[in-house]
Structure 1
Amino acid sequence: MNGFIGEFFGTCVLIVLGQSVAAGGNLKKTFGTATGTNWFYITFAWGIAVTMGVYVASSLGSLGHLNPAITIAYALFGLFPWHEVGPYLLGQFLGAFVGAAIVMVHFYPQFKEAKTVKQGNSVAIFATKPTIKNNLFNFLSEFIATFFFTQILLNLGNFSQGFKPFVVGLVIFIIGAGLGTTTGFALNPARDLAPRLAYTIIPVPNKDVAHWEYAWVPLFGPLLGAIAATAIQSVLV
């Protein structure tokens, strides 16, 4: 059975990640077709950003989760101590908020020049929004993307050491290039909610609305996707 299980899940990962890139690069109303090669640039940059974040977190004494969905899912299935969950979540949300505020300060003159959403001044710089608003399928997109992200992390072991943070960055890149083309791939409640809050309360010039009516999707989709992947892994291993 080990051979069957390994080949089943391995081949499923292969097809989902590979063919989702084909879908995201060809179908109408995806970020892949809407932004063209810029989307691959953005997703690659997010991958490198995660890699660097994991290295910094690891060197300062944490396991480099950077993501409440991972922290909570791991704790639920005995892979992470519950007494550490609170400090990790607080650090993740505060770090994301402060990081977003720094970006706002850095680009303040550009925000002043960008008078409209069409000129780039949008919450989409800081948080996710779908190309086609459909709460059910937007939720499923975030659930599926985070499920496969978490499944891969679980099979990397300690992903904060050695070369593995670069592997995590590549995982972010491939998921963003395919599965992420529908919603912008939050994968991470802190990465979405804290910057969305910063965009809401910090006086950014000419800012658009923060679209809080959508915020539950990048909260519960990643959280439940990570829990589902960790639950299945706990049964298989």
Structure 2
Amino acid sequence: MHPMLSEFIGTALLVLFGNGVVANVCLKKTKGSDSGWIVIAAGWGIAVYIGAFCSDAFSGAHLNPAVSIAMLVGGKLSPNDTIIYIIGQFGGAMLGAVLVYLFYRDHFHATDDGDAKLGCFCTASAIRDNKQAFFCEAVGTFALIFPIFLMVTPSLISEHAPIDPAPVLGLGSLGLLPVGLLVFGIGLSLGGTTGYAINPARDLGPRIVHALIPMRSKRDSDWSYSWVPVAGPVVGAVCAAVLYRMIG
């Protein structure tokens, strides 16, 4: 499988399961309505594990432009390959968001809260302070990327070129489990301020889908905030890669 397609499929699954658990908790008349933050954090941890498990052998399972940019800064991915990865990630995130909407379509119609509907696509800060939210997203992404570097995961930190048809040596299910647990932990410990996007594609791709889908009682897509979950993760990822190169 070509790495762009691998990233596309893996990120689509990531968003389907991740935004899917948010929809299950936040929309009206679902079986999981109002089941709480721990369910959301656990669902996102599992979402990362599933997406990574399905794409690891073919692309190293970045599933996140922040990871690919960190690999670029770390000298492990070329600029052209980074672009290929990011295109796949954004495309997959948008497909995943569409699938979540179609799956929960009746429940979106049953929900009048425009903020809850938006939250099924993208993130927002709990207290409106974009500078503080930017800091939180940068720290949260640093807390994702730096431990991944320290785990010395061969499939994430590899010399593999996406145009090479030979697959990356994957870690298997148990090797990817720590990454899912890491995301679960970030959600529990650091997710309460901004909803922990920590992934530009996971936030911006679905936000675009939200803007395009006709939906009753839909609010605007909060474009004044949209730069935060893009710029914050990029800065956090670059800081993590630079620090790792300094000490590695």
Shorter chain as denominator, the TM-score bin is 0.7 to 0.9
Q: Give distance in 2, aligned partners of 1:58 and 1:214.
A: 32
User: Is the contact between residue 70 and residue 145 of structure 2 (CA under 8 Å) also seen in structure 1?
Assistant: no
**Are 2:170 and 1:175 equivalent residues in the alignment?**
no
- Alignment equivalent of 1:190, drawn from 195, 198, 201: 201
- Alignment equivalent of 2:99, drawn from 98, 102, 107: 102
Q: Give distance in 2, aligned partners of 1:115 and 1:225.
A: 35
Q: Give distance in 2, aligned partners of 1:124 and 1:117.
A: 9
Taking structure 1 as the reference length, the TM-score comes to 0.80
Aligned CA RMSD, in angstroms, stands at 1.7
Shift of 1:37: 6.9
Shift of 1:36: 9.3
Shift of 1:205: 3.0
Query: Counterpart in 2 of 1:41?
Result: 39
User: Is the contact between residue 186 and residue 192 of structure 1 (CA under 8 Å) also seen in structure 2?
Assistant: yes
Shift of 1:84: 1.2
- Give 3-state SS (helix, strand or coil) of 1:123's partner: helix
User: Is the contact between residue 200 and residue 229 of structure 2 (CA under 8 Å) also seen in structure 1?
Assistant: yes
Q: Give distance in 1, aligned partners of 2:129 and 2:119.
A: 17
Shift of 1:55: 0.8
- Give 3-state SS (helix, strand or coil) of 1:115's partner: coil
CA distances 1:110-151 after superposition (whole Å, capped 9, x unpaired): 111112337x4x211110001101111100000111111111
Alignment of 1:67-106 (within 5 A): 67-106=64-103
Shift of 1:83: 2.7
Distance 1:177 1:36, change over 3 A: farther
Query: Counterpart in 1 of 2:119?
Result: 124
Shift of 1:79: 1.8
Q: Give distance in 2, aligned partners of 1:208 and 1:57.
A: 34
The one-letter amino acid paired with 2:86 is L
Q: Give distance in 2, aligned partners of 1:63 and 1:73.
A: 13
Q: Which has the higher helix share?
A: 1
Alignment of 1:156-235 (within 5 A): 156-158=151-153, 161-162=171-172, 163-235=174-246
The number of equivalent residue pairs is 200
CA distances 1:25-61 after superposition (whole Å, capped 9, x unpaired): xxxxxxxxxx9971111101100000000011124x1
Query: Counterpart in 1 of 2:133?
Result: 138
User: Is the contact between residue 156 and residue 164 of structure 1 (CA under 8 Å) also seen in structure 2?
Assistant: no
User: Is the contact between residue 130 and residue 183 of structure 1 (CA under 8 Å) also seen in structure 2?
Assistant: yes
User: Is the contact between residue 43 and residue 177 of structure 1 (CA under 8 Å) also seen in structure 2?
Assistant: yes
**More displaced stretch, 49-58 vs 159-168:** 159-168
**Are 2:108 and 1:111 equivalent residues in the alignment?**
yes
Divergent runs of 4+, >4 A: none
Shift of 1:81: 2.7
Aligned-residue identity in percent: 34
**More displaced stretch, 225-234 vs 80-89:** 80-89
Q: Give distance in 1, aligned partners of 2:233 and 2:200.
A: 7
The one-letter amino acid paired with 1:233 is Y
Q: Give distance in 2, aligned partners of 1:109 and 1:41.
A: 21
The one-letter amino acid paired with 1:125 is C
Q: Give distance in 2, aligned partners of 1:51 and 1:109.
A: 28
